[in-house]
Amino acid sequence: MAYRHLPLIGLHDKAVITAEAAEAAGAQGQFFEMHDLLYERQADWTGLSGEDEIIIPKMVEYAAELGLDTERFQQELDDHIYRDNILADYEAYGQFGRLATPTYAVNNVFVSANEVSTVIDLILLQDRMYTEAPSQVIDPEKDYTATIRTERGDIVIELYADKAPVTVNSLVFLAQDGWYDDVTFHRVMPGFVAQSGDPTGGGGGYPGYRCSDEIYPTLKFDGPGVVGMASSGPGTDTVGSQFFITYDAAPELDGNYTIIGKVIEGMDVAESLTPREPSQGAGLPPGDVIQTIIIEEK
């Protein structure tokens, strides 16, 4: 994790000088101590003039409280030796959109405050993630079924290895490696779909790689039991592990999401899954657990 200054220039006239004060304190090993003190004493300095001769002595007072070398601290503020780097960070991140408080950027991707929990989930998931897509473990010319063993019963899916070989290979590899064990159906929307494949249970988890879309022209979401792969929307790659089962025809999905199979047994089990929508926040019932997924080659 890296800390970057994103001073709200134009809104806070002392945003830059206080960022400089934090850096000058950081040069003496007390970055966050100064950072926290500035927030704590905000009412004391926000009304001061932004002129160096007024605001810098106040920063030096705080440096003295922290036991810093105040002569060195003041000289670095007088010379503004950190200003260019702070402004460069501001300009670099400004290209991603308007900055606000708080602003979160993960790998140069901005996320909203309500998505931070998803980011934390992904960080915690890292030990389970893969560094690259799996090698081929299926023969596209053979037939495969996936039996989703749940606490409510089994759901058996005929996999379309010949029509979506890369994506089916991903599911088979992950199933055999135990990725789906103890994962829940985190999103179940009666009349639409039941979705699983995310160990975080929030909808943002994936195995560390993505699969390109494999849209087969004759396959349609034309009824219940069609199994597709989740993505961030039309034209984006699938998330590699998350699949969904339709409860009804969903023609709006045609051509936009990869279809990997069809439920051939246990549709009643799929329809009995507990309804839930992660975006609704806290208080949801727990999702039904996948005990394991068993792959059979025929």
Query: pLDDT tens digits for 246-291?
Result: 999 999 999 999 999 999 999 999 999 999 988 776 678 999 999 9
**Domain with 41 in it:** 15-111
pTM, two decimal places: 0.64
pLDDT-derived band of residue 200, with 50, 70 and 90 as boundaries? confident
Q: Which residues of 196-230 are buried (b: 16+ CB within 10 A; e: fewer)?
A: bbbbbbbbbbbbbbbbebbeeeebebeebbbbbbb
pLDDT given for residue 88 in this prediction: 85
User: Is 252 a domain residue?
Assistant: yes
Q: Are 193 and 93 part of one and the same domain?
A: no
Q: Is the pLDDT of residue 1 over 60?
A: no
In 3D space, the residue among 105, 112, 51 whose CA is nearest the CA of residue 78 turns out to be 51
User: Is 137 a domain residue?
Assistant: no
Among residues 86, 111, 136, the one where a domain terminates is 111
Query: pLDDT tens digits for 103-121?
Result: 666 555 566 555 666 667 7
Q: How many domains are there within the chain?
A: 2
pLDDT given for residue 190 in this prediction: 96
User: Is 270 a domain residue?
Assistant: yes
Query: pLDDT tens digits for 132-168?
Result: 889 999 999 999 999 999 999 999 999 999 999 999 9
Q: Are 47 and 162 part of one and the same domain?
A: no
Euclidean distance between CA atoms 199 and 207, whole angstroms: 9
User: Is 134 a domain residue?
Assistant: no
Among residues 66, 90, 111, the one where a domain terminates is 111
CATH of the domain at 216: 2.40.100.10
User: Is 127 a domain residue?
Assistant: no
